[in-house]
Amino acid sequence: MDKKLLIVDGLNLIRRLYAALESEQDLVRRIERTQSIAVEALAKLTQQFQPSYAVVVFDSSGKTWRHELYPEYKLGRVPMDDGLLLSLPDFARVFRFNHLPCLRLDGWEADDLIATLAVKAASHNIKSYIVSTDKGFTQLLSDDCILQYDYFAKLGYDKIWVPGKYGVEPHQLIDYWALVGDTTNRIPGVKGIGPKTALAIMNQFSTIEDIYANLSAFSERIQSLLAGGYEQCLQSRALVALKTDVEIGVRLSQLRYNAPKVE
- 2-13 pLDDT, tens per residue? 899 999 999 999
Alpha-carbon distance of 187 to 226, in angstroms, equals: 17
Q: Is residue 60 part of a domain?
A: yes
Q: Give the neighbor-by-neighbor strand order of the sheet with 146-150.
A: 102-103, 53-57, 4-9, 127-131, 146-150, 155-157
Task: Please check whether residues 125 and 236 belong to one and the same domain.
Answer: no
Number of domain units in the chain: 2
Q: Is residue 262 part of a domain?
A: no
Confidence tier at 62 by pLDDT (50, 70, 90): confident
Alpha-carbon distance of 91 to 4, in angstroms, equals: 24
Q: Is residue 127 part of a domain?
A: yes
Whether the per-residue pLDDT at 81 is higher than 80: the answer is yes
Task: Please check whether residues 99 and 189 belong to one and the same domain.
Answer: no
Closest to 14 in 3D by CA, of 63, 83, 77: 83
Q: Is residue 261 part of a domain?
A: no
Q: Is residue 14 part of a domain?
A: yes
Taking only the tens place, the pLDDT of each residue in 172-181 is 999 999 999 9
In which domain, by residue range, is 94 found? 4-162+242-255
Task: Please check whether residues 232 and 251 belong to one and the same domain.
Answer: no
Task: Please check whether residues 37 and 73 belong to one and the same domain.
Answer: yes
Task: Please check whether residues 115 and 223 belong to one and the same domain.
Answer: no
Task: Please check whether residues 129 and 182 belong to one and the same domain.
Answer: no
CATH number for position 223 = 1.10.150.20
Task: Please check whether residues 90 and 142 belong to one and the same domain.
Answer: yes
Alpha-carbon distance of 181 to 194, in angstroms, equals: 9
Task: Please check whether residues 27 and 104 belong to one and the same domain.
Answer: yes
Q: Average pLDDT for residues 126-142, to the nearest whole number?
A: 97
Task: Please check whether residues 148 and 183 belong to one and the same domain.
Answer: no
Whether the per-residue pLDDT at 25 is higher than 80: the answer is yes
Bridge-partner residues for 179, per DSSP?
none
Alpha-carbon distance of 120 to 114, in angstroms, equals: 10
CA atoms within 13 A on the CB side of 222: 18
pLDDT of residue 263: 52
CATH number for position 88 = 3.40.50.1010
Helix (H), strand (E), coil (C) string for 19-83: HCCCCCCCHHHHHHHHHHHHHHHHHHHHHHHCCCEEEEECCCCCCCHHHHHCCCCCCCCCCCCHH
Task: Please check whether residues 93 and 193 belong to one and the same domain.
Answer: no
Angle, alpha carbons 71-74-77 (nearest 5°) = 135
Q: Is residue 97 part of a domain?
A: yes
Confidence tier at 262 by pLDDT (50, 70, 90): low
Task: Please check whether residues 246 and 226 belong to one and the same domain.
Answer: no
Task: Please check whether residues 88 and 189 belong to one and the same domain.
Answer: no
Q: Is residue 44 part of a domain?
A: yes
Closest to 87 in 3D by CA, of 187, 136, 135, 17: 17
Taking only the tens place, the pLDDT of each residue in 180-238 is 999 888 899 999 999 999 999 999 999 999 999 999 999 999 999 999 999 999 999 99
